[in-house]
Amino acid sequence: MRALRQSGCRRANKDSRYRSAFKPTGSLPLVSCIVVSVDYRLTPEHAFPATPEDCYAALQWMAAHAEELGIDPSRIGVRGESAGGGLCAAIALMARDRKKVKLIFQMPSMAVSMTDI
């Protein structure tokens, strides 16, 4: 899942980590966060449930390594846009059902362009 794809927010890959502050609207204060971007297997090469399982595995890894990543394990949330929004909802349900990672926040976003209206 590519988390927080808005401009002004940096993405991290497996080799790097960024502390990021973004301002989604002019009225909200800056939010300091660590963003993890997951490189998951894609369909049709990999059948369901490969993609959500990859995302959930990344969530578990992140939670298990929270201290070394500088993450507060009591403040983990997920966010995804477009197809990532569906993955966000799926891994939130997986986290709830499997009871290994406690999420405090989920924000699936299904972006619609003006040409889709």
- 45 in a structural domain: yes
- 74 in a structural domain: yes
- 93 in a structural domain: yes
Q: What is the pLDDT of residues 16-41, one digit of tens each?
A: 443 343 334 444 456 678 888 888 99
What is the C-alpha separation between 36 and 28, in angstroms, rounded?
Answer: 22
The better pLDDT of the pair 108, 21 is held by 108
* 31-60 mean pLDDT: 89
Q: Single out the residue of 36, 117, 30 nearest to residue 71, CA to CA.
A: 36
User: For the chain, what is the radius of gyration of the CA atoms?
Assistant: 14
What is the pTM (predicted TM-score) of this model? 0.70
> Number of folded domains in the chain?
1
**Residue 113 binned pLDDT confidence (cut-offs 50, 70, 90):** low
- 12 in a structural domain: no
- 24 in a structural domain: no
- 98 in a structural domain: yes
What is the model's pLDDT at position 114?
53
Domain membership of residue 91 as a residue range = 40-112
SS3 64: helix
Contact 39, 15 (CB under 8 A): no
What is the model's pLDDT at position 49?
94
- 20 in a structural domain: no
- 67 in a structural domain: yes
